[in-house]
Amino acid sequence: MYFLIKLSFYGIICIIKKELKDIRGVCMEHSNFEYKKLLELKKMSMQELSAYYRKLRSYEYDINKPLETSRIKKRIYFLTKLLLKIDRLLSGRKLILFDDKRSHNVSCGKVYASSHVGRYDIESAMEAINEQVYFVMGDPEETYRNFEGFFLDKIHGRICMDTGYNISDIFKKYKEGQPLTSHELELYEEYKKDRHICEVTCTRRIAAKDNILIYPEGAWNVTPRLTQTLFPGAARIAINGNGVIIPIGIVRDKKTYTVNIGSEMNISGACESDVKDITEWLKENMSSLVGEIIFSSNNVVSRDSLGDSYQNELDFISDIMSESENGYTLDIIKNTRYNDPDYPENVFGFQYIKRL
């Protein structure tokens, strides 16, 4: 173990040297973007930091910056596996691989689409997938300056975007056709472009036969449903990148995460007009995978032992949110998940959650 850890840090140092070299090259070639030094980044507020990285992603998109090769990240994937295992052991988590239905003979890019159930579902899915993937991360502001962000950027691989949860009122006004001020319109366009850049980058990765891990529910599932309504991005990315979709169902029970990996969804020949149907198909598959885990137990539970359903739901939500970090709140969940007007919490209101 000591040798592996020593080798890991040696690998990290090599990656740092390479990244610094690449950054210097980019700065020299494209000097009209004001790249910030590390000390300047550390002095920024979280809002300033997020705005800086949105502008950086926009600039690199505008100059059509080539994708960084995934070759190095795939070669050092053993570092990812080691660090994920160490993190799991230190946090006292348990990972159960319920089933893996993949054929493992796919030569195109893979869109791993996972259910979103709690704090450690990302690490659990990464470890269960057991191959290098680019994690699609929304609102990464808290990770720009910590080891988690370094690990995802330099070792594992990630694709970032800001969801715009903090300007949800502006998105709502725009959707309802209300007039926006010039500042509001500027913010709306900035966040909209950031989302677009993320999807384009994901599509380019899939077209290059890389893999991504995406959470199409958009937020933790704090509802009684097996799966929430999905955003259509996963289907669009797979179609436009000529890839396949692999659904993943996860069930969380305290510190135990049970992962069920489905078989590849063959969408060859699909086009933009099929996105809605494929998204529904994906949701059905994800729900089935979650259901397989839940209903695999032969334990018989009496109705009397279930208790009050309302209180059970509050306890369920409280248990999930007890592991929340980096300011992830119920309001953020409400503003980042797909807004389906037919769901009960949108018909009857979200007030029952406020009691927490």
Is residue 245 within 8 A of residue 211, CB to CB? The reply is no
| Whole-number pLDDT of residue 38 | 86
- Specify which of 16-25, 30-39, 227-236, 328-337 reaches the highest per-range mean pLDDT: 227-236
Over residues 288-297, the pLDDT tens digits come to 999 999 988 7
Is residue 89 within 8 A of residue 15, CB to CB? The reply is no
DSSP string, 91-130: HT-EEEEEEE---S---S-EEEEE---STTHHHHHHHHH-
Distance in angstroms (rounded) separating the CA atoms of residues 174 and 268: 35
Is the model more confident about 6 or about 165? 165
Question: Which runs of consecutive H residues, i.e. helices, occur in the chain?
Answer: 2-29, 38-43, 46-62, 71-75, 77-91, 121-129, 147-150, 168-175, 182-207, 233-240, 275-294, 309-321, 330-336, 344-347, 351-354
| Whole-number pLDDT of residue 303 | 53
Over residues 119-132, the pLDDT tens digits come to 999 999 999 999 99
Residue 51 pLDDT more than 90?
Answer: yes
Residue 170 exposed, middle or buried by CB count within 10 Å (0-12, 13-18, 19+)? buried
| Whole-number pLDDT of residue 315 | 85
Residue 327 exposed, middle or buried by CB count within 10 Å (0-12, 13-18, 19+)? exposed
Over residues 309-343, the pLDDT tens digits come to 677 788 888 889 988 887 889 999 988 998 877 76
Is residue 212 within 8 A of residue 236, CB to CB? The reply is no
DSSP three-state, residue 158: strand
Residue 347 pLDDT more than 60?
Answer: no
Range 152-181 average pLDDT: 94
Q: Tokens representing 318?
A: 């409280």
Is residue 118 within 8 A of residue 323, CB to CB? The reply is yes
Residue type, 353: I
| Whole-number pLDDT of residue 18 | 52
* pLDDT, mean over the chain: 86
| Whole-number pLDDT of residue 316 | 86
Of the chain, the percentage scoring pLDDT greater than 70 comes to: 84
Distance in angstroms (rounded) separating the CA atoms of residues 192 and 59: 15
| Whole-number pLDDT of residue 307 | 64
Residue 228 pLDDT more than 50?
Answer: yes
Range 249-273 average pLDDT: 95
Domain spanning 33-165+176-297 has what CATH number?
3.40.1130
Q: Tokens representing 284?
A: 């059905």
| Whole-number pLDDT of residue 60 | 95
Range 280-303 average pLDDT: 84
| Whole-number pLDDT of residue 346 | 52
Buried b (16+ CB within 10 A) or exposed e, 191-221: bebbbebbbebbbbbbbeebbbbbbbbbbbb
Residue 86 pLDDT more than 60?
Answer: yes
Residue 298 pLDDT more than 80?
Answer: no
Range 37-58 average pLDDT: 93
Range 112-140 average pLDDT: 96
Range 341-350 average pLDDT: 55
Range 195-199 average pLDDT: 98
Over residues 2-12, the pLDDT tens digits come to 333 444 444 55
Max Cα distance, the chain (Å): 70
Q: What's the pTM value of the predicted model, to 2 decimals?
A: 0.86
Over residues 207-226, the pLDDT tens digits come to 999 999 999 999 999 988 89
Q: Tokens representing 147?
A: 């080891």
| Whole-number pLDDT of residue 47 | 93
